Chains A and B, each alone.
Chain A
Amino acid sequence: MHIAEGYLPPEQAAAWFVVSAPFVVHGSRALVRQVRADPDSKLLLGAAGAFTFALSALKIPSVTGSSSHPTGTGLGAVLFRPPVMSVLGGIVLLFQALLLAHGGLSTLGANIFSMAIVGPWVAYGSYTVVRRAGGGLGPAVFAAAALGSLATYGVTVAQLALAFPDPVSGVGGALAKFGGIFAVTQIPLAISEGLLTVLVVRLLSRTSGDDLRRLGLLRPAAEVRA
Protein backbone atom coordinates (compact mmCIF):
# COMPACT_ATOMS: atom_id res chain seq x y z
CA MET A 1 0.00 0.00 0.00
CA HIS A 2 3.03 2.27 0.00
CA ILE A 3 2.75 4.83 -2.76
CA ALA A 4 6.34 5.41 -3.83
CA GLU A 5 8.18 8.68 -3.36
CA GLY A 6 7.13 11.25 -5.97
CA TYR A 7 4.38 9.05 -7.42
CA LEU A 8 1.49 11.40 -6.65
CA PRO A 9 1.12 14.73 -8.43
CA PRO A 10 2.21 17.55 -6.07
CA GLU A 11 -1.32 18.98 -5.59
CA GLN A 12 -2.74 15.58 -4.66
CA ALA A 13 0.19 14.75 -2.38
CA ALA A 14 -0.41 18.08 -0.61
CA ALA A 15 -4.16 17.45 -0.41
CA TRP A 16 -3.62 14.12 1.38
CA PHE A 17 -1.38 15.88 3.91
CA VAL A 18 -4.17 18.38 4.56
CA VAL A 19 -6.69 15.54 5.00
CA SER A 20 -4.43 13.49 7.30
CA ALA A 21 -2.99 16.27 9.46
CA PRO A 22 -6.04 16.84 11.71
CA PHE A 23 -6.28 13.10 12.43
CA VAL A 24 -2.61 12.93 13.41
CA VAL A 25 -2.84 16.05 15.61
CA HIS A 26 -5.98 14.73 17.29
CA GLY A 27 -4.30 11.32 17.59
CA SER A 28 -1.23 12.78 19.32
CA ARG A 29 -3.48 14.42 21.90
CA ALA A 30 -5.37 11.16 22.36
CA LEU A 31 -2.06 9.34 22.84
CA VAL A 32 -0.86 11.77 25.52
CA ARG A 33 -4.24 11.60 27.26
CA GLN A 34 -4.17 7.79 27.18
CA VAL A 35 -0.69 7.65 28.74
CA ARG A 36 -1.58 10.19 31.45
CA ALA A 37 -4.95 8.69 32.33
CA ASP A 38 -3.72 5.11 32.38
CA PRO A 39 0.07 4.91 32.87
CA ASP A 40 -0.19 1.15 33.43
CA SER A 41 -1.18 0.70 29.80
CA LYS A 42 2.06 2.25 28.49
CA LEU A 43 3.79 -1.08 27.97
CA LEU A 44 0.78 -2.54 26.15
CA LEU A 45 0.68 0.57 23.99
CA GLY A 46 4.31 -0.09 23.07
CA ALA A 47 3.42 -3.69 22.29
CA ALA A 48 0.61 -2.57 19.95
CA GLY A 49 3.06 -0.25 18.19
CA ALA A 50 5.62 -3.07 17.99
CA PHE A 51 3.00 -5.32 16.38
CA THR A 52 2.43 -2.83 13.53
CA PHE A 53 6.15 -2.28 13.23
CA ALA A 54 6.88 -5.99 12.85
CA LEU A 55 3.91 -6.91 10.65
CA SER A 56 4.32 -4.08 8.15
CA ALA A 57 7.90 -5.25 7.52
CA LEU A 58 6.82 -8.75 6.53
CA LYS A 59 6.41 -9.26 2.80
CA ILE A 60 4.32 -12.37 2.33
CA PRO A 61 3.75 -14.17 -0.99
CA SER A 62 0.17 -14.29 -2.17
CA VAL A 63 -1.96 -16.27 -4.64
CA THR A 64 -1.63 -13.62 -7.34
CA GLY A 65 2.08 -14.31 -7.72
CA SER A 66 3.11 -11.05 -6.15
CA SER A 67 3.77 -10.33 -2.50
CA SER A 68 2.53 -7.74 -0.10
CA HIS A 69 2.53 -7.01 3.62
CA PRO A 70 0.00 -6.86 6.45
CA THR A 71 -0.55 -3.55 8.25
CA GLY A 72 -0.89 -4.67 11.86
CA THR A 73 -2.96 -1.64 12.81
CA GLY A 74 -6.09 -3.58 13.82
CA LEU A 75 -4.73 -4.65 17.22
CA GLY A 76 -3.98 -1.12 18.42
CA ALA A 77 -7.23 0.23 16.99
CA VAL A 78 -9.26 -2.30 18.96
CA LEU A 79 -7.21 -1.87 22.16
CA PHE A 80 -6.65 1.88 22.20
CA ARG A 81 -9.11 3.33 19.65
CA PRO A 82 -8.20 4.50 16.12
CA PRO A 83 -6.83 8.01 16.90
CA VAL A 84 -3.83 6.54 18.73
CA MET A 85 -3.02 4.43 15.67
CA SER A 86 -2.80 7.48 13.42
CA VAL A 87 0.36 8.34 15.38
CA LEU A 88 1.80 4.83 15.77
CA GLY A 89 1.10 3.95 12.13
CA GLY A 90 2.52 7.31 11.06
CA ILE A 91 5.78 6.57 12.90
CA VAL A 92 6.09 3.22 11.09
CA LEU A 93 5.50 4.88 7.71
CA LEU A 94 8.01 7.63 8.50
CA PHE A 95 10.65 5.04 9.44
CA GLN A 96 10.09 3.18 6.18
CA ALA A 97 10.14 6.38 4.11
CA LEU A 98 13.38 7.62 5.67
CA LEU A 99 15.45 4.43 5.96
CA LEU A 100 14.00 1.98 3.48
CA ALA A 101 13.00 4.26 0.59
CA HIS A 102 9.69 2.43 0.94
CA GLY A 103 6.79 4.81 0.57
CA GLY A 104 8.04 8.37 0.74
CA LEU A 105 7.99 11.75 2.41
CA SER A 106 5.99 13.37 -0.41
CA THR A 107 3.42 10.55 -0.27
CA LEU A 108 3.45 10.27 3.54
CA GLY A 109 0.12 12.10 3.86
CA ALA A 110 -1.59 9.70 1.45
CA ASN A 111 -0.01 6.61 3.02
CA ILE A 112 -0.92 7.76 6.54
CA PHE A 113 -4.49 8.25 5.38
CA SER A 114 -4.78 4.67 4.12
CA MET A 115 -2.77 2.73 6.71
CA ALA A 116 -2.96 4.85 9.86
CA ILE A 117 -6.43 6.43 9.56
CA VAL A 118 -8.91 4.52 7.37
CA GLY A 119 -7.55 1.04 8.24
CA PRO A 120 -7.78 1.57 12.03
CA TRP A 121 -11.24 3.19 11.82
CA VAL A 122 -12.62 0.36 9.66
CA ALA A 123 -11.03 -2.12 12.08
CA TYR A 124 -12.60 -0.44 15.09
CA GLY A 125 -15.98 -0.16 13.32
CA SER A 126 -15.93 -3.84 12.35
CA TYR A 127 -15.00 -4.83 15.89
CA THR A 128 -17.86 -2.77 17.34
CA VAL A 129 -20.42 -4.13 14.87
CA VAL A 130 -19.49 -7.77 15.56
CA ARG A 131 -19.50 -7.26 19.34
CA ARG A 132 -22.86 -5.43 19.29
CA ALA A 133 -24.30 -8.28 17.20
CA GLY A 134 -23.30 -10.60 20.03
CA GLY A 135 -20.12 -11.98 18.42
CA GLY A 136 -17.28 -13.18 20.64
CA LEU A 137 -13.94 -11.47 21.12
CA GLY A 138 -12.12 -13.77 18.66
CA PRO A 139 -14.44 -13.28 15.66
CA ALA A 140 -14.65 -9.53 16.36
CA VAL A 141 -10.86 -9.16 16.43
CA PHE A 142 -10.52 -11.25 13.28
CA ALA A 143 -13.05 -9.09 11.41
CA ALA A 144 -11.34 -5.93 12.68
CA ALA A 145 -7.83 -6.86 11.56
CA ALA A 146 -8.83 -8.45 8.24
CA LEU A 147 -11.27 -5.75 7.12
CA GLY A 148 -8.99 -2.95 8.33
CA SER A 149 -6.18 -4.39 6.23
CA LEU A 150 -8.39 -4.68 3.14
CA ALA A 151 -9.73 -1.15 3.63
CA THR A 152 -6.17 0.22 3.77
CA TYR A 153 -5.39 -1.32 0.39
CA GLY A 154 -8.77 -0.18 -0.98
CA VAL A 155 -7.85 3.41 -0.14
CA THR A 156 -4.46 3.05 -1.86
CA VAL A 157 -6.24 1.78 -4.99
CA ALA A 158 -8.58 4.79 -4.97
CA GLN A 159 -5.70 7.22 -4.39
CA LEU A 160 -3.71 5.82 -7.32
CA ALA A 161 -6.76 5.69 -9.60
CA LEU A 162 -7.52 9.36 -8.88
CA ALA A 163 -3.92 10.32 -9.57
CA PHE A 164 -3.42 8.12 -12.63
CA PRO A 165 -6.70 7.61 -14.53
CA ASP A 166 -6.38 5.08 -17.30
CA PRO A 167 -5.58 6.81 -20.63
CA VAL A 168 -8.53 5.01 -22.27
CA SER A 169 -11.03 4.02 -19.61
CA GLY A 170 -10.46 6.83 -17.08
CA VAL A 171 -10.69 6.59 -13.29
CA GLY A 172 -12.98 3.55 -13.46
CA GLY A 173 -10.50 1.59 -15.54
CA ALA A 174 -7.67 2.64 -13.23
CA LEU A 175 -9.68 1.47 -10.20
CA ALA A 176 -10.01 -1.96 -11.80
CA LYS A 177 -6.33 -2.04 -12.75
CA PHE A 178 -4.89 -1.03 -9.38
CA GLY A 179 -7.59 -3.07 -7.66
CA GLY A 180 -6.34 -6.11 -9.56
CA ILE A 181 -2.80 -5.44 -8.34
CA PHE A 182 -3.60 -4.84 -4.68
CA ALA A 183 -7.02 -6.15 -3.69
CA VAL A 184 -6.84 -9.83 -4.67
CA THR A 185 -3.25 -10.05 -3.44
CA GLN A 186 -4.34 -8.70 -0.08
CA ILE A 187 -7.21 -11.14 0.57
CA PRO A 188 -5.09 -14.07 1.86
CA LEU A 189 -2.86 -11.58 3.66
CA ALA A 190 -5.85 -10.00 5.36
CA ILE A 191 -6.87 -13.47 6.55
CA SER A 192 -3.32 -14.08 7.85
CA GLU A 193 -3.37 -10.72 9.59
CA GLY A 194 -6.74 -11.50 11.16
CA LEU A 195 -5.50 -14.87 12.45
CA LEU A 196 -2.26 -13.40 13.83
CA THR A 197 -4.13 -10.61 15.60
CA VAL A 198 -6.53 -13.14 17.12
CA LEU A 199 -3.52 -15.13 18.33
CA VAL A 200 -2.00 -12.08 20.02
CA VAL A 201 -5.32 -11.16 21.67
CA ARG A 202 -5.71 -14.74 22.93
CA LEU A 203 -2.26 -14.55 24.51
CA LEU A 204 -3.10 -11.12 25.94
CA SER A 205 -6.27 -12.50 27.51
CA ARG A 206 -4.02 -14.91 29.43
CA THR A 207 -1.26 -12.54 30.48
CA SER A 208 -2.98 -9.17 30.61
CA GLY A 209 -6.58 -9.80 31.61
CA ASP A 210 -6.63 -6.73 33.86
CA ASP A 211 -5.51 -4.46 31.01
CA LEU A 212 -8.09 -5.92 28.63
CA ARG A 213 -10.83 -5.47 31.21
CA ARG A 214 -9.80 -1.87 31.83
CA LEU A 215 -9.74 -1.22 28.08
CA GLY A 216 -13.20 -2.78 27.73
CA LEU A 217 -12.29 -5.84 25.64
CA LEU A 218 -13.19 -8.30 28.35
CA ARG A 219 -16.15 -8.01 30.68
CA PRO A 220 -15.18 -7.70 34.36
CA ALA A 221 -14.05 -11.11 35.60
CA ALA A 222 -16.33 -12.98 33.19
CA GLU A 223 -14.88 -13.73 29.75
CA VAL A 224 -11.46 -15.21 30.08
CA ARG A 225 -10.97 -16.84 26.72
CA ALA A 226 -10.84 -15.18 23.36
Chain B
Amino acid sequence: MRRFSWVNLLLLLAVLLLAVVPLALGLGSGEEPFSGADAVAEQAIVDDHPDYQPWFSPIYEPPSAELESAFFALQAALGAGLLGYYFGVARTRQRQRDAVDRQRG
Protein backbone atom coordinates (compact mmCIF):
# COMPACT_ATOMS: atom_id res chain seq x y z
CA MET B 1 0.00 0.00 0.00
CA ARG B 2 1.21 3.47 -0.75
CA ARG B 3 1.64 6.24 1.81
CA PHE B 4 -1.63 7.90 0.77
CA SER B 5 -3.69 4.81 1.61
CA TRP B 6 -1.76 4.13 4.81
CA VAL B 7 -2.47 7.59 6.18
CA ASN B 8 -6.15 7.26 5.29
CA LEU B 9 -6.34 3.92 7.05
CA LEU B 10 -4.65 5.34 10.15
CA LEU B 11 -7.12 8.25 10.20
CA LEU B 12 -10.03 5.79 10.13
CA LEU B 13 -8.48 3.63 12.85
CA ALA B 14 -7.97 6.67 15.08
CA VAL B 15 -11.65 7.63 14.71
CA LEU B 16 -12.68 4.07 15.49
CA LEU B 17 -10.41 3.96 18.53
CA LEU B 18 -11.83 7.22 19.90
CA ALA B 19 -15.31 5.71 19.77
CA VAL B 20 -14.44 2.21 21.00
CA VAL B 21 -12.18 3.08 23.96
CA PRO B 22 -14.93 4.70 26.11
CA LEU B 23 -17.12 1.64 25.43
CA ALA B 24 -14.38 -0.89 26.10
CA LEU B 25 -13.37 0.82 29.34
CA GLY B 26 -17.00 0.84 30.42
CA LEU B 27 -17.02 4.56 31.12
CA GLY B 28 -20.80 4.70 30.83
CA SER B 29 -22.54 5.77 34.01
CA GLY B 30 -26.00 6.31 35.45
CA GLU B 31 -29.19 4.46 34.71
CA GLU B 32 -28.65 4.55 30.98
CA PRO B 33 -24.94 4.49 30.13
CA PHE B 34 -23.96 6.57 27.10
CA SER B 35 -27.27 8.37 26.86
CA GLY B 36 -27.24 11.40 24.58
CA ALA B 37 -25.77 14.63 25.95
CA ASP B 38 -28.88 16.44 24.64
CA ALA B 39 -31.09 14.27 26.85
CA VAL B 40 -28.74 14.72 29.84
CA ALA B 41 -29.02 18.50 29.44
CA GLU B 42 -32.80 18.24 29.20
CA GLN B 43 -32.84 16.22 32.43
CA ALA B 44 -30.62 18.80 34.16
CA ILE B 45 -33.15 21.51 33.25
CA VAL B 46 -36.05 19.45 34.57
CA ASP B 47 -34.16 18.73 37.82
CA ASP B 48 -33.16 22.33 38.57
CA HIS B 49 -36.28 24.07 37.25
CA PRO B 50 -39.14 21.79 38.22
CA ASP B 51 -41.73 24.48 37.44
CA TYR B 52 -40.55 25.00 33.85
CA GLN B 53 -43.19 23.74 31.44
CA PRO B 54 -42.07 23.09 27.85
CA TRP B 55 -44.52 25.29 25.95
CA PHE B 56 -44.34 23.48 22.65
CA SER B 57 -44.19 19.79 21.88
CA PRO B 58 -42.96 17.98 18.78
CA ILE B 59 -45.54 17.82 15.99
CA TYR B 60 -44.44 14.29 15.15
CA GLU B 61 -42.59 11.89 17.38
CA PRO B 62 -41.33 8.45 16.32
CA PRO B 63 -43.63 6.03 18.18
CA SER B 64 -40.80 3.87 19.56
CA ALA B 65 -37.06 3.99 20.22
CA GLU B 66 -36.61 1.40 17.44
CA LEU B 67 -38.30 3.63 14.89
CA GLU B 68 -36.36 6.63 16.10
CA SER B 69 -33.09 4.80 15.51
CA ALA B 70 -34.47 3.71 12.12
CA PHE B 71 -34.87 7.38 11.18
CA PHE B 72 -31.35 8.14 12.39
CA ALA B 73 -30.05 5.22 10.34
CA LEU B 74 -31.98 6.52 7.33
CA GLN B 75 -30.40 9.94 7.78
CA ALA B 76 -26.89 8.49 8.00
CA ALA B 77 -27.53 6.16 5.06
CA LEU B 78 -28.83 8.94 2.80
CA GLY B 79 -25.84 11.12 3.66
CA ALA B 80 -23.29 8.34 3.24
CA GLY B 81 -24.99 7.12 0.05
CA LEU B 82 -24.84 10.53 -1.60
CA LEU B 83 -21.23 11.00 -0.48
CA GLY B 84 -20.33 7.61 -1.95
CA TYR B 85 -22.12 8.47 -5.21
CA TYR B 86 -20.13 11.70 -5.38
CA PHE B 87 -16.80 9.90 -4.97
CA GLY B 88 -17.80 7.32 -7.59
CA VAL B 89 -18.62 10.02 -10.13
CA ALA B 90 -15.57 12.15 -9.28
CA ARG B 91 -13.19 9.19 -9.50
CA THR B 92 -14.54 8.10 -12.87
CA ARG B 93 -14.24 11.63 -14.24
CA GLN B 94 -10.67 11.89 -12.98
CA ARG B 95 -9.76 8.61 -14.67
CA GLN B 96 -11.29 9.75 -17.95
CA ARG B 97 -9.33 13.00 -17.77
CA ASP B 98 -6.14 11.05 -17.07
CA ALA B 99 -6.83 8.76 -20.04
CA VAL B 100 -7.37 11.74 -22.36
CA ASP B 101 -4.15 13.34 -21.08
CA ARG B 102 -2.21 10.14 -21.78
CA GLN B 103 -3.58 9.88 -25.32
CA ARG B 104 -2.52 13.41 -26.07
CA GLY B 105 0.86 12.50 -24.64
Contacts and interface: CB of A to CB of B under 8 A. Distances in A.
Contacts, number: 181
A105 B58 CA distance: 8
Contact size range, B: 35 or more
Nearest to A13: B56
A130 interface: no
B38 A102 contact: yes
Contacts of B30: 65
A16 interface: no
A47 B40 contact: no
A178 B37 CA distance: 10
Contact of B49 (A1, A164, A192): A164
Interface stretch (A25-33, A117-125, A202-210): A202-210
B57 A6 contact: yes
Contact of A57 (B7, B36, B75): B75
A64 B37 CA distance: 10
Is the contact region of chain A dominated by helix, strand, or loop, or is it mixed? helix
Contacts of B89: 43
Interface residues of A, number: 72
A128 interface: no
Contacts of B37: 62, 64, 66-68, 181-182, 185-186
A63 B56 contact: no
Contacts of A36: none
Contacts of B103: none
B34 A67 contact: yes
10 smallest beta-carbon distances between A and B, as pairs = A54-B79, A6-B54, A53-B79, A50-B82, A47-B86, A207-B90, A57-B75, A101-B58, A6-B56, A65-B29
Interface of B: 4, 7-8, 11-12, 14-15, 18-19, 21-23, 27-30, 33-38, 40-42, 44-45, 48-49, 52, 54-62, 68, 71-73, 75-76, 78-83, 86-87, 89-91, 93-94
5 contacts: A50-B80, A54-B75, A67-B35, A68-B38, A202-B4
